Amino acid sequence: MIFEKLQSILSVQFNVDKNDISFDTDFFKDLNADSLDIIDLVSTISGEFDLDFDENKISNFKTVGDVVKYIEENTEN
């Protein structure tokens, strides 16, 4: 469920088909994201998942899978 919700968010934010987004999708190489895009994404995800992000961890996010793992580890399922 986390992955599917994240797919939808990314699809809208980056104007791509959600079926083109996988765990291995790289924010920078595949979605052409920049640092402002990541800040916007973190803000959206924070609201959607009721989650506060550790600012030191955000720079470690390279793929969709990295974000899914972070959300899973920091929310109650």
Please identify every residue annotated as catalytic: 34
3-class DSSP assignment, residue 26: strand
**What is the token pair recorded at 36?**
């402002």
User: Which one-letter DSSP state was computed for residue 63?
Assistant: B
Alpha carbon of 32 to those of 1, 49, 50, 75: distances in Å? Answer: 25, 24, 26, 28
What is the SS3 assignment for 52?
Answer: coil
